[in-house]
Chains A and B, each alone.
Chain A
C-alpha cells in the first residue's frame, strides 16, 4: 500500500511572480560611461608612452619628455624643449620602441579577442593558429643556420614567412570542403604548433654556434629592443588596415558567439566570415611576431579583462581591447626595462608574472559569482 497523496503543509501555492528587473542588473557600463572609459584609455596610451620614454638609464624628466614629443609632432605649436642629447634619446632611441609596444599590444589584444569569438573558446590566443611556432622556426633558422640557408631572408622576414607557412598548414588541416569548424581549427593549431616547436628545438640543440642561443631565447620570449623608426612602417600600416577590417565585423562577431546555426539565421555567411577572420588575424599576428617575437598572455588576458568591464558586445570590446592592449604592453615593456637594470627581461616573463595572478583571480571571481565565462 502506498501512502495517500498529500501536499506538504508548508507548500502554499502562490500566484506567479512578476519579473524582478531590479534584482540582477548587468554590471555593464552605460553608453556615457563607455565613452569615459575610451577617453581614459586614450589618455592612458599617452601617459604610459611618456612614462616609458622618460624612464631608462638616462632619466629624462616627465614634462621634458612630453615637451620633446609634442614639439616633434607639432613644431609649429610648441617650442623646442630639452638638450639635443635629451631630444635624441627621446625621439630617436626610445620613442620608436614605445610606439612599437603600443602597436604590438593593440594588435595582439585585438587578434585574441577576435579568435576567441571565431572558435568560441575563451582559451584562444593569437598563437592559436600556429603563427608563433612557425615564426620562431623561421627566426631560429636564420639565427642558427644563417640568412643564406633560408634564401637570404632577414630575421623578421623569415619569422613572417614561417608564421605564414604554419597558418596555411593549420588552415588546410582544419578545413574540409571549405568549412572550418572551431574544434578542427583548435586541434590543427595545437598539432602544428608542436611540430614547429620540435623543429626549432632540433635546430637549437644541434646548433654549431651555441653563442647565438641567448639571442634566440630572448627573441622567443619577446623583445622590442632593436626597433628604429623605419621598422614601424609595416606594423603600423598592417595594424591600421587590420583593425579596420576587424572592427567592421563587430556585429557578425556578436552573432558568431551565439553559435554557427544561430549566426546563419541572423544572415551571416559563417564560413566566409570565419575564413576572412582567420586570414586577417594571421596576417596581423605574423607581422607582430616578426617585429617583436612571441609575447605571451597579452592576447589571452586583455580580452577577458575588457569583457569584464564592457560585456561581450564586440562594438565595445574591440576598441576597448585595442587600447587596453596598447597600454598594457607599454607598461609591461617599461617594467621589463627598469626592474633590473641593466638587464632587460623578456616580455613574456613580465606578462606572465603580471597576467597569471590576474587570471587566477578572474577564475576565482567567476567561481564565486557562479557566472559562466564570457567566451
Chain B
C-alpha cells in the first residue's frame, strides 16, 4: 500500500489549518509526522481516513482517490489507532477487537469462526493473549493501546495511521507500543510528539509547520539542530543513543535573541517522484 497526499488544504473559517501539504509513504515504510502543537498533524491524518474533507488537494491510496471510495472501502485500506479512548464503555476486549471487522460485515452478518480466530490471533500478536473477556475499561493505558492496535490488525487494512499513539503513556508503555508497531511491519504513518521516538523507530520523518511539510527524509538527515530550532524554537544537541545506535536529541531553551525563523517550504514535488 502506497499513500500519496497531494497538495491537501483545509481551512476552518478563514484560518488555514493545512496549506498544500504533500507527503508520500512507500509500501512497508514506518514514517513519522512531527511538528509543533497545532501545525496540522492530526488534521492531515483525518483527511487521509476521511474524517475531514479537504478543501483542495487529493489523498491517494495506491493511486485511488480516497474521497471517491465509500467509507467502507476506505476503512478496508486504512486502519487508525488514535489516542487512548477518552470514553470508557462496557465493552469487553474481544468486543473492541471485533469492531475492526465492521468494514467487512453486511447487516445481519454474524461473527464467523474466522472472525473469532482472527481476534485471538491479533490479541496474541499484541501480547494480550487471554485478555478477551476482560472489561476494556479496566485495562491500563498501555494495555488499551495494545487492544486498539489489535483492533486495527483485525481490520486487515494495509495502511496504519497512528495519531499520537504514545500520548499519556509512561516511558515503558511508549517504548512497548512503538516496538509493537515497528514489529508489525505494516505500512505506517504516525503523528508523534516525541522526536526521539521518531528518530529511534521510523524509516523517514516528515516535519510539519503551519500546515505544510517543511522537510522530509531519514531522521538522521532531517532532524538537524538548525531545523529543530527553526520549527520548534528550541536548541537541540545531536548525539548517538549508546544503546540503540540511533540519533538522540537533547533539548534546551533557544537563546532569547533568536527569533523563530520562517521556514520556506520545499517546492512541490511531482507526485510520482520516487524517493
Contact = CB atoms under 8 A, between A and B. Distances in A.
Contacts of B246: none
Given A26-B135, A248-B108, A260-B51, A268 B91 contact: no
Contact of B90 (A120, A248, A252, A374): A374
Nearest to A317: B90
B87 A265 contact: no
B131 interface: yes
Nearest to B76: A267
Contact of A248 (B103, B107, B161, B172): B107
Interface string A252-268: 10110111111011111
B138 A24 contact: yes
Contacts of B143: 19
B12 to A, nearest CB: 13
Contacts of B103: 266-267
Contact of A307 (B46, B90, B130): B90
Interface in B95-140: 95, 99-100, 102-103, 105, 107-108, 127-131, 133-135, 137-138
Interface stretch (B16-24, B78-86, B253-261, B263-271): B78-86
A68 to B, nearest CB: 37
A252 B101 CA distance: 11
A9 interface: no
Contacts of A254: 91, 95, 99, 102
Interface string B63-95: 000000011111110111010010111111001
B2 interface: no
A92 interface: no
A21 B75 CA distance: 31
B165 to A, nearest CB: 14
Contacts of A260: 51
Interface string A173-188: 0000000000000000
A260 B88 CA distance: 15
Contact of B87 (A249, A251, A375): A375
Interface string A310-322: 0111000000000
A307 B100 CA distance: 22
Contacts of B74: 267
B135 A24 contact: yes
Main secondary structure of the interface of A (DSSP, over half): loop
Given A311-B91, A375-B87, A265 B138 contact: no
Given A24-B135, A248-B107, A262 B82 contact: yes
Interface in A245-298: 248-249, 251-252, 254-255, 257-262, 264-269
Contacts of A251: 102, 105, 107
B50 interface: yes
B133 A25 contact: yes
A372 interface: yes
B90 A264 contact: no
A267 B82 contact: no
A312 B89 contact: yes
Contacts of B108: 248
Contacts of A59: none
A76 interface: no
Interface string B40-68: 00000010011100000000000000000
B100 A264 contact: no
B145 interface: no
Contact of B92 (A26, A249, A252, A266): A26
A230 interface: no
Contacts of A249: 107
A248 B105 CA distance: 11
A28 interface: yes
Given A25-B133, A248-B108, A313-B95, A266 B87 contact: no
Given A19-B131, A264-B50, 15 more contacts: A19-B127, A19-B143, A24-B135, A26-B135, A251-B107, A254-B91, A254-B102, A257-B87, A260-B51, A261-B51, A265-B80, A266-B75, A311-B92, A312-B91, A374-B90
Interface of A: 16, 19, 21, 24-28, 120, 248-249, 251-252, 254-255, 257-262, 264-269, 307, 311-313, 371-372, 374-375
9 contacts: A251-B107, A258-B89, A261-B82, A266-B103, A267-B72, A307-B90, A371-B88, A371-B90, A372-B88
Q: Which 9 A-B pairs have the closest CB atoms?
A: A267-B75, A267-B103, A374-B90, A265-B80, A248-B107, A26-B135, A267-B72, A21-B130, A372-B88
